[in-house]
Amino acid sequence: MKYLEDISLKHYNTFSIDVRARFFAEAQTEEDVIDLAGNLQDIHFPLLILGGGSNTLFTKDFPGTVIKISMKGIHVIKEDEDAVWVKAGAGENWDDLVEFCVNNGWGGLENLSAIPGNAGTSPVQNIGAYGVEMKDTFFELETFDLESKVKKIFSKEECGFGYRESIFKLKYKGRFIILNVTFRVLKKPVLHLEYGNIREELTLMKADHPGIADVREAICRIRSRKLPDPAVIGNAGSFFKNPVILPQQFENLKRSFPGIVSFQQDGKIKLAAAWMIEQCGWKGKRVGNAGVHSTQPLVLVNSGNATGSEIMNLRDEIRISVYEKFGVRLETEVNIV
């Protein structure tokens, strides 16, 4: 790999935060990653492995080496009468992978349409949307261990998937470089239409007997209306996780806030963070160069030339106001660097 010095990362993160990396390189093949691991003694630490930059907020210049993962390729590795196993390079665009599966009539990923980012970063936080999580279709992933310098395959069970988390976000953060991810998609898709206003959108589309292509189009239409395009205004999608609380705490909240928005989740209650943020008066509000999106309060935006610190200060103010009003702590979904 060719290492560049003093490189702006503005075009490598969807928040469009203009910070600089001391050194920068792009891994376009698995051999590049192996070469990197074999020469760690020559790397200027700290080391940051960067995917699509769609879930990252830079708060300052990076003093070490940034490696952008750009391995491409989508391949069918096997199939049976029920399913197809599709392997994608870690640097493959996530929505291109979803579109590839939908165009072939293979179901499972369509509800995750139009999510920015790359295939290799999707397991790190177990991306999810419209009632579906990545883990529902995930089969396995292949990594390179920077400590042992060997490849290692992780099964679904070994990844420790939870709500917007995995062992790669927590226990093994920074140790493994994800090389590729394999998904098991269905030849006879099972549609998931109950979450949000998917059915309403399908009705507007006059899709009386919808298939996965219709579901994908519906979700793309919904997301385009509700969420800002990072190419137009800097953002990293949902900045906060939806809090999960115990039923008793929810009953107490409901007495004070009868209109509180919630969902059942594994015997607990998931609260709609967007609803709480809006109730605190943040929807569409701008503070300096940072702001809260006008149609989706979960999304913080770079309204001008915001710094990462401005975004962080806005985050802190929102968290404080939500806690003071509801007694609920919001957790950040975005990776802070």
Catalytic residue among 54, 113, 133, 164: 164
- Name the residue among 324, 296, 300, 299 with its Cα closest to residue 312: 300
Does residue 294 have an active-site annotation? Answer: no
Contact predicate 185/101, CB 8 Å: yes
Contact predicate 14/230, CB 8 Å: yes
Q: Output the CA angle 204-208-210, nearest 5 degrees.
A: 95
Please give the C-alpha separations between residue 33 and each of 7, 121, 329, in angstroms, as whole numbers.
Answer: 20, 16, 38
Contact predicate 90/182, CB 8 Å: no
Contact predicate 113/98, CB 8 Å: yes
Contact predicate 138/227, CB 8 Å: no
Pairing of strands 234-238, 299-302: antiparallel
Catalytic residue among 16, 166, 238, 303: 238
Does residue 122 have an active-site annotation? Answer: no
What is the rounded CA–CA span in Å between residue 140 and residue 166? 13
The H-assigned helical ranges of the chain are 30-38, 94-103, 198-204, 212-226, 247-256, 273-279, 308-326
Contact predicate 164/123, CB 8 Å: no
Does residue 319 have an active-site annotation? Answer: no
* Residues with catalytic roles: 164, 238, 333
